[in-house]
Chains A and B, each alone.
Chain A
Amino acid sequence: MNLLGDVARWFTDPAHYQGVDAVQTRILEHLEVSGLAVLMGILVALPLGLYLGHTGRFAFVAVNVANIGRAIPSLAAIALAIPIAGTLLGVQNGLGFWPTFLALIPLAVPPILTNAYVAVRGVDRDVIEAARGMGVSEAGILRRIEVPLALPLILAGIRTAAVNVIATATLGALVAFGGLGRYIVDGLALQEYDRLFAGALLVAVLAIAVEVALSTFERAAVSPGIRVQHGAL
Chain B
Amino acid sequence: MNRVIRVAIPFIVAALVASACGGATSGGAKPAITIGSTNFSEQLVLGELYSQILESNGYAVTRKFNLGNREIVFPALQSGQIDMEADYLATLLAFVDKTAKGSTDPKATAATLQNALTPKGVTVLDYAPAVDQNGFVVTKATADKYKLTKLSDVTPIGGQLVLGGPAECPNREFCALGLKNKYGITFKEFKPLDTGGPLTVQALVGGQIDVALLFTSDATIALRGFVLLADDKQLQLSDNVAPVVRNDYLAKAGDDFKKIVNSIAPKLTTAELTGMNKLVEVDKKDPKDVAKEWLKKQGLIK
Q: Do A and B touch directly, given a CB cutoff of 8 Å in the complex?
A: yes
Q: Which residues from chain A sit less than 8 Å from chain B, CB to CB?
A: 20, 82, 86, 91-96, 175-176, 182, 185-186, 188-191
Interface of B (DSSP majority class)? mixed
Known contacts A182-B192, A189-B166; decide if A95 and B71 are in contact (CB<8 Å).
Answer: no
Q: Which residues of A contact B125 (CB under 8 A)?
A: none
Query: Cα distance A190–B75 when bound, in Å?
Result: 12
Are B208 and A82 touching (Cβ within 8 A)?
Answer: no
Are B192 and A186 touching (Cβ within 8 A)?
Answer: yes
A-B contact pairs, 14 of them (CB 8 A): A20-B189, A86-B206, A94-B202, A94-B206, A95-B202, A95-B208, A96-B208, A176-B193, A185-B167, A188-B68, A189-B69, A189-B71, A191-B71, A191-B75
Q: Which residues of A contact B75 (CB under 8 A)?
A: 191
> Chain B 102-116, CB within 8 Å of chain A: the 1/0 string?
000000000000000
Give the distance to chain B from A115, nearest Cβ to Cβ, in Å.
36
Are A91 and B192 touching (Cβ within 8 A)?
Answer: no
Among candidates B167, B191, B203, residue contacting A189 with C-beta atoms closer than 8 Å:
B167
Are A92 and B171 touching (Cβ within 8 A)?
Answer: no
| Known pairs A86-B202, A93-B206 / 14 extra A-B pairs, C-beta < 8 Å | A82-B202, A86-B206, A91-B205, A95-B202, A95-B208, A176-B193, A176-B203, A176-B208, A185-B167, A185-B192, A186-B192, A189-B71, A189-B166, A189-B168
The verdict on B222 contacting chain A, using a C-beta distance below 8 Å, is no
Q: Which residues from chain B sit less than 8 Å from chain A, CB to CB?
A: 68-69, 71-72, 75, 166-168, 171, 189, 191-193, 199, 202-203, 205-208
Known contacts A20-B189, A176-B193, A186-B192; decide if A91 and B206 are in contact (CB<8 Å).
Answer: yes
5 A-B pairs closest in CB distance? A189-B167, A191-B71, A91-B206, A186-B167, A92-B206
Query: Cα distance A170–B68 when bound, in Å?
Result: 17
Q: Which residues of B contact A95 (CB under 8 A)?
A: 199, 202-203, 206, 208
Residue of B nearest to A173 (CB): B192
Q: Which residues of B contact A93 (CB under 8 A)?
A: 206
Q: Which residues of B contact A189 (CB under 8 A)?
A: 68-69, 71-72, 166-168, 192
Query: Cα distance A74–B68 when bound, in Å?
Result: 19
Residue of A nearest to B167 (CB): A189
Are A190 and B202 touching (Cβ within 8 A)?
Answer: no
Known contacts A20-B189, A182-B192; decide if A190 and B167 are in contact (CB<8 Å).
Answer: yes
Residue of B nearest to A20 (CB): B189
Query: Cα distance A92–B209 when bound, in Å?
Result: 10
Q: Which residues of B contact A191 (CB under 8 A)?
A: 71-72, 75
Query: Cα distance A147–B72 when bound, in Å?
Result: 52
Give the distance to chain A from B164, nearest Cβ to Cβ, in Å.
8
Query: Cα distance A156–B203 when bound, in Å?
Result: 39
Are A190 and B207 touching (Cβ within 8 A)?
Answer: no
Query: Cα distance A113–B192 when bound, in Å?
Result: 36
Are B171 and A190 touching (Cβ within 8 A)?
Answer: yes
Q: Which residues of B contact A186 (CB under 8 A)?
A: 167, 192
Are B71 and A91 touching (Cβ within 8 A)?
Answer: no
Q: Which residues of B contact A175 (CB under 8 A)?
A: 199
Residue of B nearest to A188 (CB): B68
Query: Cα distance A74–B202 when bound, in Å?
Result: 20
Known contacts A176-B203, A189-B69, A189-B192; decide if A92 and B208 are in contact (CB<8 Å).
Answer: yes
Q: Which residues of B contact A94 (CB under 8 A)?
A: 202, 206
Query: Cα distance A132–B189 when bound, in Å?
Result: 64
Q: Which residues of A contact B69 (CB under 8 A)?
A: 189
Query: Cα distance A232–B72 when bound, in Å?
Result: 37
Are A190 and B168 touching (Cβ within 8 A)?
Answer: yes
Q: Which residues of B contact A188 (CB under 8 A)?
A: 68, 72
Give the distance to chain B from A1, nearest Cβ to Cβ, in Å.
21
Are A91 and B202 touching (Cβ within 8 A)?
Answer: yes
Give the distance to chain A from B139, nearest Cβ to Cβ, in Å.
12
Query: Cα distance A20–B164 when bound, in Å?
Result: 14
Q: Which residues of B contact A82 (CB under 8 A)?
A: 202
Q: Which residues of A contact B199 (CB under 8 A)?
A: 95, 175-176
